[in-house]
Amino acid sequence: CPTIVTQANVDVEQYTGLWYEIFRKDNQFQSGGQCTNATYTLKPDGTVGVLNQAINSMGVYEKIEGYAVVKDPAVPGALEVNFGPNQKGSYNIMSTDYKEYSVVYSCIDIPNTNINIEFAWILSRRKTLPLATINKCNEILARLGVSSLGLSATPQNC
């Protein structure tokens, strides 16, 4: 996985709330999903509650709940998300303005191989994003080596 630098001084409290998935890097866990969104809630113990919801490729509503923790207080944009046993992952906020967009990146190295699995998302507070903002988000991902050609639009017309 590449060495990454998350957005400096991420304010997790400002980040909480509802985010719609506008684009995602194709992955086996979300193939064909639509109307995907995530709600983040700050918990009293400092963790962040995570509720992911979507309509799967068969048209069935699905949700999964978990929590996220900031891995290092000096790097608040790098979180670890936990959805249960053996369901942990990184959630790296590469860029956000809190009000309109967020670019998130995650990468998992497969042990004892030279293989990794990359995840990337462009999120919005609304079900759409202006083209100029999408282009800005694609530039951020391109600096990580994630091509916009590998991104799929997530339908939000449910």
pLDDT in tens, 39-63: 999 999 999 999 999 998 899 999 9
23-39: burial string, b at 16+ Cβ within 10 Å, e else: bbbeeeebeebbbbbbe
- Residues whose CB is less than 8 angstroms from the CB of residue 121 and which lie 6 or more positions away in sequence, other chains included: 21, 23, 24, 25, 102, 103, 104, 105
Alpha carbon distance 66, 88 (integer Å): 10
**pTM for this prediction:** 0.92
In 10 A of CB 133, how many CB atoms?
16
Q: Poorest-confidence range of 63-67, 82-86, 144-148?
A: 144-148
pLDDT, tens digit, 9 for 90 and up, residues 24-37: 997 666 667 899 99
pLDDT, tens digit, 9 for 90 and up, residues 78-111: 999 999 888 889 999 999 999 999 999 999 888 8
- Say if residue 34 carries a ligand binding annotation: no
* pLDDT computed for residue 111 by the predictor: 87
* pLDDT computed for residue 109 by the predictor: 86
Closest-CA residue to 101 (of 78, 125, 81, 119): 125
CATH (residue range 12-153)? 2.40.128.20
Domain segments of the chain as ranges: 12-153
* pLDDT computed for residue 28 by the predictor: 62
